[in-house]
Structure 1
Amino acid sequence: MTSDSGFACSCCGAHHPELPLNYTAEAPAVWDPAFADADDCLLSPDQCVVRGRHYFVKGLIEIPVIGSDDVFSWGVWVSLSRENFSRAADLWDSPGREGEKPYFGWLTTELPVYPATPLNLKTHVHTRPVGERPSIELEPTDHPLAVEQRTGITLDRVREIAAAVRHADGA
């Protein structure tokens, strides 16, 4: 989802036609492309296993945009225990899975737009109906990401994030 009005970029000064309201990480921070051919590793759009010992699911940290009906989201990876990952995998295509109690996990996605790393923030993974990514709830802390999830962000903050993400590689 994007805003129709676009935004004037604070990094390069250009007007970009779309203001993205979501960003996603392709893999957990611990993933290495060399794992792709390993028998004990898996990376799908929704689940990841590293060396048969570390288990991850992808979900959304949703942040309300203050003064609008919009929601900004980060597509992030969360580590789960082997038991919780197995349970989530068993129910992945099962109607009613949203009735599951939340799974505890650790955030395993780096988001460089924050001054302090969000890696290893405590989370609760809320399963949603089949076809919907889980909702990731951060435990309340003073980390800026957790504060934003609790209190919301302004459209100016969304623009700031867009500029930082767009120019993360120095372009």
Structure 2
Amino acid sequence: MNYTAEAPAVWDPAFDEADDCLLSSDQCVIHARHYFVKGLIEIPVIGSDEVFSWAVWVSLSRESFFRAADRWETPGREAEEPYFGWLTTDLSVYSPTTLNLKTHVHTRPVGELPFVELEPTDHPLAVEQCTGITRDRLREIAAAVLHPFGDGQQP
């Protein structure tokens, strides 16, 4: 019930060799100027206790990133105020693009990815986070993610 983006949309594999770039499983820095954390957009599944989640990347200000990084392994970090950020994962099952949607990143206990709260808008992803999705919609998402070109064809 979870799909994950391996890196922010702006990450380039060529950055792997750069001294001022870092990509870990949950933090990313590009050229010591752009900062990202991974978190979960959680969407309730209507008529169940289940939650579907997208593991996405959110850009943070330098100050917010270093504050979060300083507390990454600190018990009680979930008491932090949320950090403002911009969604930097393009979830292709949504139109218009999900890039640059406004978010608030809520830190959770050590070992748990933060909760990404989208700003309430009429964007389909924000609406789904607020109202939930049906099992049929969940199947649509799974089909689109697992078979993005349909019928095994390449783009």
Provide the TM-score with structure 2 as the length reference.
0.96
Is residue 2:22 matched to residue 1:34?
Answer: no
Shift of 1:167: 1.1
Is residue 2:142 matched to residue 1:142?
Answer: no
1:121-157 CA-to-partner distances (Å, cap 9, x unmatched) read 0000000000000000000000000000000000000
Is residue 2:44 matched to residue 1:64?
Answer: yes
Shift of 1:28: 0.2
Partner Cα separation in structure 2 for residue 55 and residue 68 of structure 1 = 36
Q: Could you tell me which of 130, 135, 138 is aligned with 1:155?
A: 135
Partner Cα separation in structure 1 for residue 149 and residue 76 of structure 2 = 42
* Runs of 4+ with deviation above 2 angstroms: none
Is residue 2:62 matched to residue 1:108?
Answer: no
Q: Could you tell me which of 19, 23, 40 is aligned with 1:43?
A: 23
Q: How do 1:11-26 residues align onto structure 2 when only pairs under 5 Å count?
A: 21-26=1-6
Partner Cα separation in structure 2 for residue 102 and residue 115 of structure 1 = 27
Q: CA RMSD in A?
A: 0.6
Partner Cα separation in structure 2 for residue 38 and residue 169 of structure 1 = 33
Partner Cα separation in structure 1 for residue 139 and residue 95 of structure 2 = 17
2:33 aligns to what?
53
2:77 aligns to what?
97
Structure 1, unaligned runs of 5 or more: 1-20
Partner Cα separation in structure 2 for residue 125 and residue 116 of structure 1 = 22
Partner Cα separation in structure 1 for residue 60 and residue 132 of structure 2 = 26
Partner Cα separation in structure 2 for residue 123 and residue 46 of structure 1 = 17
1:73 aligns to what?
53
Which of the pair has more CA radius of gyration? 1
Provide the TM-score with structure 1 as the length reference.
0.87
Shift of 1:169: 4.2
Structure 2, unaligned runs of 5 or more: none
Q: How many residues align?
A: 151
1:35-85 CA-to-partner distances (Å, cap 9, x unmatched) read 001000000001000011000000000000000000000000000000000
1:94-127 CA-to-partner distances (Å, cap 9, x unmatched) read 0000000000000000000012101000000000
